[in-house]
Every structure is written in structure tokens, then in C-alpha cells.
DNA sequence: CAAACTTAGTGTATTTTGTACACAAACTAA
DNA sequence: TTAGTTTGTGTACAAAATACACTAAGTTTG
């Protein structure tokens, strides 16, 4: 019993972390499927008084007073979707005073926030993940979390369509600077998959031969001595990334 | 008298704008002189109780509740340095809870802020200007504003050295995407000046002939039929930018 | 089991861009 | 007149971008 008591004393007091009412983070999580990019959205849940026909939103929430922005983004993503240990990068900060003024957004904020009228600026984060590596398990005020094709995203809550646009633009720039494949493709992938990924992100089309030549000139995309199996056509060779062979410009 | 009265009624009541205690903006303003980049810094002024040996800082302050972040950055820059109508771009947001905890920063905050202990996240903005186009006239809590060579910047207040680094990195990326010359060079400039600008921003050196060839391949750097005058060597030809001939990638 | 279907994989010619490199010309100051 | 300083130029080679069409290797179907 004594040791149990001592153990209890070592547990820090369960004070609620203090919330900063003015700053939130939102996460724009992309995944790639063969027919394009998808983004992770949540369906808001207003506790008891469920609001029908509410808008989808990016996972996001207010930050705690004692956590960094990066930590907040990770926590919020985990709380709302169950996704853990995802490397997030900051994209842009949105701070229009009117960004939370739409009626539906106000209704929702009133149903879940202590200070629903407070000015909120939000810091957008983004990441690329392999859908299959993560199990979505919504909690907190997300009734559901789901992948939606980027080309089919409807009107979202707040200014979240603008956040999505900015994150896409960020991706496009970034893919020029470093290869983004290892985040999004399976460990072993075909060059056709890689090409489709580039075409999806850059919203463009490339010549197959030139693309292959360019890719194979790099030292970090490495052919394996394996082929696809069970496809109804000539099987493609498989490749992998060697992250260690890539060096930033 | 009547019309005067009516006129008075139309003037909005002089309420102080409400300040948001949790969000600030900071401006990283660069200028280019022949021997490198300079950045605009202020010397803080703690009202009566002047703190000796205080650190230099980037111009920045808390935002008002009813203004956008962009507007706040413009206002703050104007209030602190007199610089007006500068096109600012958002760079990055810094939100470490400990970023304002240095003793000197705390002392200063206590001397000027209503809530000196409040968590403050800051949104960094940057711009490139021609020094000669603007007259610096510090006011508010800036005792002085001054241009400091980027290579000679000392330790700054808060996390402002990190903000400066990030803004420099932003510049380097940006100069690959669009020519930054028109912001920083005189209307008519020599190719040597342009080359020095690129070398300053990218912190690199280029071959003169190759640089000239590359520049002249563009359609937006246009030779004038004029030469430098009064220089103690062969006078260089002058060029100008034609912004309309440049199209983003 | 042959034919049809689907995707993989390959080479060449041309143009454009990058890179390395050295010396004469134009002006001023002494 | 000379010394000093910066401008302005050309060539040869290597690397990268671009345009373009057919055969090969599997599976499915009839």
C-alpha cells in the first residue's frame, strides 16, 4: 500500500492545460492514391446538439498555453483523427478577423468553445502520408474523419479551402526542392506510380521516357530485382528510395 | 455651427483599438547596398526608465483585434520606423512558449505592455526596399531605427535572430522563382550591380560572362542606350526591368 | 490455345542550358 | 603619358531538356 501511495504522489496533478483562445492550428494531411491526391477532413460534432448539414473541416483546434505550435499541430491531429508521429511542416498563418464569422461556423463555435467570439488566427501545417500506414480513429469533437479527393473537396468550414490551396501550392514548390515520394508511395513502387504522383502534385503531364531518364539519373531511386505480380499486363519493375543518397541543394 | 455639429457627429468615436495580447507581427526589412544586404533594426525605448545596453530588435508589435495580419505588419512598420506602403510578405510564424523569456526581454515587456506575461506568438513578414526611397523616422517605443549589415547583426531581442535567418532563407528560395531586382536596385542599373545583388542574396559568386549571358537571355532586363558617367573607369551600360515582360513560372 | 488487351520498357536527334576560361577597350586620376 | 580600374566579349565542351513510336511481357477472353 505504501508504494502505491508513493506512486500516486508522483503522478502530476491532473490540471487541465490552459487553452489560448486566440491561436489555433490546422492540419492539411495529404495522401496519394492511384487516381490522385486526397486530403484528410473531419465532420464536426457539436456534442449533443448535432448540427445537420454542417460543413467538413480540416482537423484543427486551439493551442495550449505551454506547447509549441509544432506540438499543438501534432496533438490536435492525434486527438481528432488518431494519426500519430507525423512529420508536419508549417505552411502559412491565416488571420483575417472575419475568418470565423460564417453563421454555421459561429453556431458550431458556440456549441463547443468557452469563448466562441474570440479572435482566432490559425497556423496551417501540412504533411504527406501513406494512407495505409495509419488508422483513422476520430475522437473529441470529430464525428468522423475521412479521406476526400482533393479535386472533389466541397466548401469547407472557416477559411479552410484557402488553407488547402496554400498547402497545395507549398507542395508544388517543395517537390522541386526535394523528392516527396517516400512519404506517399509504398516502400517498393513502380516508376509509373512515381510519375503519377508527380503529375498529381504538379497537375501536369510528362513524357514517360523523359521522366524515366530523369528519375534514373538520380542516385536515390534504386531499382530492385523484382517485378509486380498478378497484374493483367507486362509487370513493371520495382524501385525504392534511398534517403541517405539524397542531399538537399 | 449646425454643419459643424453634423460634421462632428460623423467622426467615429475615438476609442482606442483593442489589442490582442497573444499575437504580434515582426518585420524583416532588407535593403541592398553595394557591399551587401542590410536589415532594418530598432533600438527599444522603455519610456522613462530607459534600459541601457538593451538589445536591438526587429520592428514589431502586438496586433489589433480588428485588423488583418498584413495590415498589422504595415501599421507596425510605419509606427516604428516611418516606412509606409511597403509590400510585405509573410514568412513564418514563431510560437515557442519560451520565446519571450530572456530577462532583458521580460524587463522591456514589463515597461511597455499591459500584459507582459502573456504568451505571444509572432508572425514574421519580410520585404526588400531601396533605402534611398524611404526616410526612417522612428516613433512610438523605438528610440532609433537603423540599417545594419546582415553580416554584422549582433544578438537581437527575443528570437529575432531566428526570424532574420528564416527571412534570408525565404529570399534565397524566392530569387529562384522571380527576379527580386526591381525592389532593391535603382531604376537604371548596371549588370555588375545586379550580379552583386544576386551574390549577396545567395551568398555565392558567379562568372561574369555567364551571368551576363543568362541575364540577357531573359526578356525583362532591357538595355538602355545610356552609360554611367563620372566613374574612374570604363563606364558600364545601364539596364532597366520591364515587369510586364516577366511571367511567373 | 490463339488472339486481343493492357501496360512496360527502350533510343535518337535536336535544342537549350551550364560551365570554364583570358584579354582588349574605355574611362579617370595622377 | 602612364597607371589604375572596371567593362565587355567568344568559344569549346558537357549536361540537361524535349520531342517522338514501337516492341515486349504478361493476363484475359473466346
Per-residue confidence band for A51, with pLDDT thresholds at 50, 70 and 90 = low
Q: Is the model more confident about B11 or about A169?
A: A169
Same domain flag for B76 and B172: yes
Q: Tell me, yes or no, whether B7 lies in a domain.
A: no
The distance (Å) linking the CA of A215 with the C1' of C10 is 15
pLDDT at B10 > cutoff 50 = no
Q: Which nucleotides of C are covered by protein (CB under 7 A)?
A: 5-12, 17-22, 25-29
Q: Tell me, yes or no, whether B10 lies in a domain.
A: no
What is the average pLDDT score of chain B?
A: 89
Q: Tell me, yes or no, whether A6 lies in a domain.
A: no
Q: How far apart are CA B112 and CA B118, in angstroms?
A: 13
Same domain flag for B143 and B43: yes
Q: How far apart are CA A112 and CA A61, in angstroms?
A: 11
Q: Is B236 helix (H, G, I), strand (E, B) or coil?
A: coil
CATH number at residue A158: 3.90.79.10
Q: What is the pLDDT of residue B41?
A: 96
State how far the alpha carbon of A239 is from the alpha carbons of A191, A212, B151, in Å: 7, 12, 45
Q: Tell me, yes or no, whether B2 lies in a domain.
A: no
Q: Tell me, yes or no, whether B62 lies in a domain.
A: yes
Per-residue confidence band for A37, with pLDDT thresholds at 50, 70 and 90 = very high
Containing structural domain, residue A114: 19-177
What is the average pLDDT score of chain A?
A: 89
Same domain flag for A113 and A233: no
Same domain flag for B164 and B214: no
Residue with cell 549582433: B154
Tell whether A93 is within 8 A of chain B (Cβ): yes
Q: Which of A177, A204, A232 is the last residue of a domain?
A: A177
| Contact between chains at B119 and A65 (C-beta distance less than 8 A) | yes
Same domain flag for A101 and A208: no
pLDDT at A7 > cutoff 50 = no
Give chain A's end-to-end CA distance (angstroms, integer). Answer: 61
Same domain flag for A65 and A43: yes
For B172-221, how does the pLDDT look when each residue is reduced to its tens digit (9 = 90+)? 999 988 888 778 899 999 999 999 999 999 999 999 999 999 999 998 99
Tell whether B175 is within 8 A of chain A (Cβ): no
For A101-118, how does the pLDDT look when each residue is reduced to its tens digit (9 = 90+)? 999 999 999 999 999 999
Q: How far apart are CA A213 and CA B156, in angstroms?
A: 48
Q: Which of A125, A146, A177 is the last residue of a domain?
A: A177
Closest Cα of chain A to B155: distance in Å? 23
pLDDT at B47 > cutoff 90 = no
Q: Tell me, yes or no, whether B143 lies in a domain.
A: yes
Gyration radius from chain B CA atoms = 22
Q: How far apart are CA B228 and CA B236, in angstroms?
A: 5
State how far the alpha carbon of B67 is from the alpha carbons of A95, A160, A184, B70, B181, in Å: 9, 20, 39, 8, 31
Q: Is the shortest CB-to-strand distance from B237 to strand D under 7 Å? A: yes
Per-residue confidence band for B52, with pLDDT thresholds at 50, 70 and 90 = low
Same domain flag for B167 and B205: no
Residue B91 is given by DSSP the state E
Residue with cell 479551402: A161
CATH number at residue A239: 1.10.10.10
pLDDT at B171 > cutoff 70 = yes
Q: What is the pLDDT of residue A46?
A: 61
Q: Is the shortest CB-to-strand distance from A230 to strand D under 7 Å? A: yes
State how far the alpha carbon of A47 is from the alpha carbons of A51, A77, A146, A190, B42, in Å: 9, 19, 19, 45, 49
Same domain flag for A145 and A91: yes
> Which run of H or of E encompasses B225?
strand B221-227
The distance (Å) linking the CA of B246 with the C1' of C20 is 30
Per-residue confidence band for B13, with pLDDT thresholds at 50, 70 and 90 = low
pLDDT at A59 > cutoff 50 = yes
Q: Looking at the 3D structure of chain B, how many domains does it have? A: 2
pLDDT at B234 > cutoff 70 = yes
Q: Which of B177, B202, B236 is the last residue of a domain?
A: B177
Residue with cell 573607369: B233
Q: Tell me, yes or no, whether A47 lies in a domain.
A: yes
Same domain flag for A87 and A111: yes
Residues with CB under 7 A from strand C: A 190-192, 208-210, 212-213, 227, 232-237; B 207-210, 213-214, 217, 227, 230-235
Q: Is the model more confident about B49 or about A212?
A: A212
pLDDT at A129 > cutoff 70 = yes
Q: Tell me, yes or no, whether A117 lies in a domain.
A: yes
Same domain flag for A128 and A192: no
The distance (Å) linking the CA of B210 with the C1' of C22 is 14
Tell whether A178 is within 8 A of chain B (Cβ): no
Q: What is the pLDDT of residue A160?
A: 98
Same domain flag for B85 and B198: no
Closest Cα of chain A to B117: distance in Å? 11
* Chain B residue numbers touching A123 (CB-CB < 8 A): 93, 95, 121
Q: Is the shortest CB-to-strand distance from B233 to strand D under 7 Å? A: yes
Same domain flag for B124 and B211: no
- Flag the least confident range among A57-61, A132-136, B159-163, B238-242: A132-136
- Flag the least confident range among A49-53, B233-237, B240-244: A49-53
Amino acid at each position: 500500500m505504501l508504494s502505491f501511495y508513493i506512486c500516486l504522489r508522483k503522478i502530476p496533478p491532473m490540471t487541465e492545460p490552459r487553452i489560448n483562445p486566440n491561436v489555433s492550428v490546422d492540419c492539411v494531411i495529404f495522401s496519394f492514391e492511384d487516381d490522385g491526391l486526397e486530403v484528410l477532413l473531419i465532420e464536426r460534432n457539436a456534442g449533443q446538439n448535432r448540427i445537420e448539414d454542417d460543413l467538413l473541416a480540416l482537423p484543427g483546434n486551439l493551442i495550449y498555453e505551454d506547447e509549441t505550435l509544432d506540438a499543438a499541430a501534432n496533438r490536435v491531429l492525434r486527438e481528432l483523427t488518431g494519426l500519430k508521429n507525423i512529420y508536419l511542416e508549417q505552411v502559412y498563418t491565416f488571420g483575417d478577423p472575419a475568418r470565423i464569422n460564417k453563421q454555421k461556423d459561429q453556431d458550431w463555435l458556440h456549441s463547443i468553445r468557452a469563448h466562441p467570439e474570440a479572435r482566432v488566427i490559425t497556423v496551417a501545417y501540412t504533411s504527406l502520408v501513406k494512407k495505409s500506414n495509419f488508422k483513422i480513429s476520430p475522437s473529441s469533437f470529430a464525428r468522423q474523419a475521412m479521406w476526400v479527393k482533393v479535386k472533389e473537396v466541397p466548401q469547407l468550414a472557416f477559411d479552410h479551402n484557402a488553407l488547402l490551396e496554400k498547402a497545395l501550392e507549398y507542395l508544388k514548390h517543395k517537390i522541386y526542392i526535394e523528392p516527396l515520394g517516400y512519404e506517399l508511395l509504398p516502400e517498393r513502387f513502380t516508376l509509373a506510380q512515381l510519375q503519377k504522383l508527380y503529375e498529381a502534385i504538379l497537375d501536369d503531364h510528362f513524357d514517360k521516357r523523359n521522366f524515366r531518364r530523369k528519375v534514373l539519373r538520380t542516385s536515390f531511386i534504386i531499382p530492385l530485382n523484382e517485378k509486380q505480380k498478378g497484374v493483367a499486363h507486362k509487370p513493371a519493375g520495382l524501385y525504392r528510395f534511398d534517403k541517405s543518397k539524397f542531399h538537399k541543394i
